[in-house]
Each structure stands twice: as structure tokens, then as C-alpha cells.
Amino acid sequence: MDHSPITVPADLGRDLAVASIRSTIVDVPTVRRHKLSSLSVTAQSYVVLEVRLANGVVGVGEAATLGGPRWSEESVEAIKANIDAYLAPALLGLRADCLEVAGARMDAAAKRNSAAKAALETALLDAVGHALGVPAALLMGGIVRDRVPVFWTLASGDPSQEIEEAEGKLAARLHDRFKIKVGAQAPEKDLARLRRLTAALAGRATLIVDANQAWDETMAVRCLPVLAELGVILVEQPLPAWNVAGMARVRGRSTVPLMADECVFTPHDMLAVAQAAAADVVSLKLVKHGGLLGLRKVAAVAEAAGVGLYGGCLLESSIGAAAHLQAFATLRDLGWGCEHFGPQILTDDLAVAPLRFENFHVHLPQGPGIGVELDRDKLRRYARA
């Protein structure tokens, strides 16, 4: 059996060879505090990548984190350092269209670092799409859908503010699906808050809940029947990521479907969750799966196991959200929609033309690559000194 490193003939596609890679940390303020069970943010941080090919074409990518290395082990500082020192050197000189080879080289250069790898793969796909004049989705099998129903997340913790916020989204026909973050306060307060929200939005909105790993099994068993009575249709990651067996036990006692998020980064994770019957739905995110190709691999395992697909986000700008939409556009079934509202929670965006939100859907951007253009003036404005 041949175990030699993957190589590409050097004389093929010289104009598509990666000539340089530039990484920039940016911090963009949010319109309101975004509060999860273990952290809150008032500015969102990204690493923006620009990959230049030998023919001069530039592709862009984005890695997002939440509040430093608290949602996962990656922070923007670590992402930039690992790209600059390890991942970028592994790609220099490689043809940008050799995506599997690029993935193998990055995996050999650094373990995990899935957000960093996703940003690099996005930039490669964007560059190839621009070089060929085609959308990135076409390079991954073709477009199945050009718009996706989109959730808005209510995460301030103040029910009066959240009701006003939801009413504004409904009136503007931007969102009629809402995800409510819980776990930052006592369950009794969260349930009281949910009662107010469900009463105010009854019959006009679909509601799901995200506990971000905040509950143990006992708390989940206590809370889930109440959520079922309130009409909540899905609960995301109620238990810690390590407790897949606990998720399976809770799922066996719940009438509300459960969604896996932090416990599924790799296709192997997805297989373990499926084998344990621990989730009904999985949240797909580039920052977890290492790129668009990795996202599709996780989705394929989920589909084979009968687990539903949901397009998760980490408050990406239009750059990162557009990359997700290119991947989502190629999936045969995305029955639970997506939550790529990130561009709307920022006080400013990083794209020349932000994504289009209309009639309760987010629309796939038109154009080559990921479909949006980086606004370099804004990149300079929000770049970290």
C-alpha cells in the first residue's frame, strides 16, 4: 500500500498556484449584546484571509470565533498565528483547485484548527471560482436552492427587549423563526422568559431553544416537557459536548427533537452521535468541520443516519455567511433552514454588498466564488492594530 505524501504535478495549472496568503484580525461591534450560556459579546472578531494566485486572482475567507477560545479552543489570535506559521506555508505553490490535497497538507501541518482551515479552504474556493467565473457551489456539485429560511437569535436575556426585537423582524418580513439562547441564568428565569416570548409571538413565529451545553441530564429532563408545552420545536445541545450517552438518554424521554452542535466537529463525531441515537438534527458550521468539503462530509453521514440538517452560524459577516450558503446551496435537503443572521447583528459589514434578507429567507449571493466582495476600506477600518 502506498503511504507516500500526496503530490500534484508541478507543470499543471501554474496560473492557479497559491502565490501568497495574508491574514488580518478584525473586530466589528454588534448592535446589541449577544449573550450565550457561558459568554457574551459586544463586538465580533474574525480573521480575514486573502489568498493571491499566480495569475493575480484573489480569494477571500473568514474564520469566526465567539469571545476568544471559549466556544472552542480557537481564538482569532491563535488562528492567525497558526495560519501564518504552519498552514499557509503548507499551501504556497499548490494549485488552488486541488482542495483535497490542500486539506491533506493542512492536516499534516496542524491538528484540529478547524476554523483556520475552513477560512483557508474558503479562500481557495473563492479564488478558483473567480478564476473560472463560476460560483463555489458549482465546484461542489451544483446549486439545489438559491435561498434558505433563516432564523434570528434572541440573546439579550431581556424578554421585553427581545419581544420588541422579534416584532421588528416580523414587521420587516426578515425573520419569522427565532432561536432563543438560554442557560446564562437560572432555569426558572429562563422558563419565565420563554413563557413571555411564546405568548407574545404565538401563532406568528417558529421558536427553537439553544442551551449551549448549560444543562445536565436532570435539568434537561425537567425543562424539556415545559418547552414542549410552550410549542418549542427543537432544542440545541442541552448537555455538555462530551455527554453523548446522556444526550441519547434525554432524547429517549423527550417529545421535543434535539440538535447536536458542539459535540459534532468531524464525520467521526457525527457517526458516534448517530450510532448512539443522541440527536434528531445536526448543526452544520464551517468553523467546526474544517471547510465546505468537510461540512458536506458531516452532512453525508447525518443523511445516511436519518439525522436532519440545520445551517448553524457563529455570527459570521457576509463573507463567512456567503461561504456557508455556497455549501448549503448544494445539499439535497436542509429541512431545518439556517441561522445566518450574522451580517445583521453587526454595526457594519465586511462585504461591498451585504447578503440579501427578504421574505424570511437569506438569498444565495450571485457571482463567482463565494459571491461577495471584500470591502478593503472596511477591512482597514476594523483591523486590529
Measure the CA–CA gap between 245 and 133, rounded to whole angstroms: 47
- 23 φ/ψ angles, rounded to the nearest 5 degrees: -120, 140
Phi-psi region of 290 (alpha: psi -120 to 50; beta: other; left: phi over 0): left
What residue spans define the domains of the chain? 14-137, 139-370
User: Which of 1.10.580.10, 3.30.920.30, 3.30.300.30, 3.20.20.120 would CATH assign to domain 139-370?
Assistant: 3.20.20.120
Of these residues, 35, 80, 169, 181, which one is catalytic? 181
Write down the pLDDT at residue 9: 46
What is the pTM (predicted TM-score) of this model?
0.93
Question: Do the domains spanning 14-137 and 139-370 agree at the CATH topology level?
Answer: no
- Average pLDDT over the chain, rounded to an integer: 94
Of 26, 23, 25, which is closest to residue 86 (Cα–Cα)?
23
89-103 pLDDT per residue, tens: 999 999 999 999 999
Architecture of domain 14-137: 2-Layer Sandwich (3.30)
Inter-residue contact 266 to 298 (CB < 8 Å): yes
Residue 80 designated active-site: no
Per-residue model confidence as pLDDT tens digits over 326-354: 999 999 999 999 999 999 999 999 999 99
* Ramachandran quadrant class, 154 (left: phi over 0; alpha: psi -120 to 50; beta: rest): beta
Assign 39 a pLDDT band (cuts: 50, 70, 90). low
d(CA 366, CA 373): 11
Q: What is the pLDDT of residues 244-288, one digit of tens each?
A: 999 999 999 999 999 999 999 999 999 999 999 999 999 999 999
Residue 283: what are its φ and ψ, rounded to 5°? -90, 125
